[in-house]
């Protein structure tokens, strides 16, 4: 990461229609912006979906990303979500090699990191973990020597702390 760049999270409320996700990701690709993680799902209002995007950029690029997102007709609401006032979580499933000799050590790590074993065989453990990305990264680093067979991560989901929420106000951050 360059010196003046920082990671940021953007919550985007969009119309729940086909092609919207492609338009959002195409906007990033056309302008050379990188997406570090992206999650999308229907909201409590079936007519809306929520996209959570994590990216790394300097302030000028971040502002440009927000302005470009605001121009998309299907975007209803946008909010940059500051880490100090946002609950940010990620989910990971990881399958590890687990021999009789290493199973106990892995289970100790599962307890320390507050994970959950969701499947096991005589030679493998499948572990579910939720938390901040840094916690998940630390767990991966710790268990890597045991042998990672397979791993998948959801990407970040985020909601504002307290009474704030990304809800439809009829406005878009960034001036539209």
User: What confidence tens digit (pLDDT) does each residue in 88-128 have?
Assistant: 999 999 999 999 899 999 999 999 999 999 999 999 999 99
Cross-strand bridge partners of residue 57? 6
Q: Are 140 and 153 in contact (CB under 8 A)?
A: no
The half-sphere exposure of 123 on its side-chain side, counting CA atoms within 13 A, is: 2
- Give the model's pLDDT for residue 168: 61
All CATH 3.30.70.260 domain ranges in the chain, comma separated: 6-80
- Give the model's pLDDT for residue 4: 85
Pairing of strands 75-80, 6-15: antiparallel
- Give the model's pLDDT for residue 169: 57
All CATH 3.30.70.1150 domain ranges in the chain, comma separated: 87-158
Render pLDDT for 14-57 as a digit per residue (tens, 0 to 9).
999 999 999 999 999 998 888 999 999 999 999 999 999 999 99
Given CA atoms 68, 52, 10, 57 in this order, what sign does their dihedral have?
negative
Class assignment of domain 87-158? Answer: alpha beta
59 pLDDT more than 60: yes
Q: Are 63 and 80 in contact (CB under 8 A)?
A: no
Superfamily in which the 6-80 domain is placed by CATH:
ACT domain (3.30.70.260)
Q: Nearest 5 degrees, angle CA 130-CA 159-CA 138?
A: 30
């Amino acid at each position: 990461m360059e010196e003046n760049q920082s990671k940021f999270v953007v919550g985007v409320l969009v119309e729940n229609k086909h092609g919207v996700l492609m338009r959002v990701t195409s906007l990033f690709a056309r302008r050379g912006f990188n997406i570090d993680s992206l999650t999308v799902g229907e909201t409590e209002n079936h007519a809306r979906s929520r996209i959570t995007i994590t990216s790394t950029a300097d302030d000028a690029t971040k502002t440009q990303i927000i302005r470009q997102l605001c121009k998309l007709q299907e975007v209803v609401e946008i909010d940059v979500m500051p880490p100090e006032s946002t609950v940010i979580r990620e989910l990971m499933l990881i399958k590890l090699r687990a021999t009789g000799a290493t199973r106990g050590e892995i289970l100790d790590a599962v307890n320390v990191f507050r994970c959950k074993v969701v499947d096991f065989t005589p030679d493998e453990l499948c572990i579910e973990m939720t938390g901040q990305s840094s916690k998940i990264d630390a767990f991966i680093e710790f268990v890597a020597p045991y042998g990672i067979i397979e791993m998948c991560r959801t990407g970040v989901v985020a909601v504002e702390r307290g009474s704030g929420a990304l809800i439809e106000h009829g406005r878009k951050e960034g001036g539209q």
